[in-house]
Structure 1
Amino acid sequence: MANNQQPNKTQAGTNAQQVRQQNAQSAQAGAGQFGTEFASESNAQEVRQQNQQSQQNNNQNS
C-alpha cells in the first residue's frame, strides 16, 4: 500500500498544524468561556421547578 500522506496531515486528512493553532487559540480564550456561556442560557428558577417536579414524580413512583 502506497503512503500518499502529505506532510503535516494525518491518515484521515486532518491538518495537524491547523489543529495545534486552534488548540492554542482556544487555550488563550480562557477555560471559563463555556461555563459562563451555558450558565447564561440557564433559567435557574425553571431548573429548580423541574428538579422539584422530578423529585415529586420519583416519590410517587417509590
Structure 2
Amino acid sequence: MAKQPNKTAAGTNIQEVRQQNAQSAQAAQAGQFATEFAAETNVQHVKQQNAQAETRKAQNVNQ
C-alpha cells in the first residue's frame, strides 16, 4: 500500500486531527467544553447524587 501524504497507516487525516486539536485547545483555554460532554450529562441525576452524598456526609459527621 502506497503511503498517502497527510494520512496515517489507518487512514486518519493528520491535518484534520491537528485542526480539531487546535480548536479543542482554544476552547479549553476559554473555559468552554465540547457540546457532546454536556449532552451526555443528566443534570437531574447529578443533582440527585449530590444531594444523597451531602445527606450521607451529614450522617457521618453526626455519628
**2:48 pairs with 1:42:** no
The TM-score, its normalising length taken from structure 2, stands at: 0.52
Offset at 1:42?
3.0
Which of 1 and 2 has greater Rg? 1
The match for 1:8 among 6, 9, 31 is 6
Aligned-residue identity in percent? 50
Q: Report the count of equivalent residues.
A: 47
Match in the other structure for 1:59: none
Which moves more between the two structures, 6-15 or 24-33?
Answer: 24-33
Offset at 1:30?
1.8
| Structure 1 gaps, min length 5 | 56-62
Which residue type is aligned with residue 16 of structure 2? Q
| Structure 2 gaps, min length 5 | 57-63
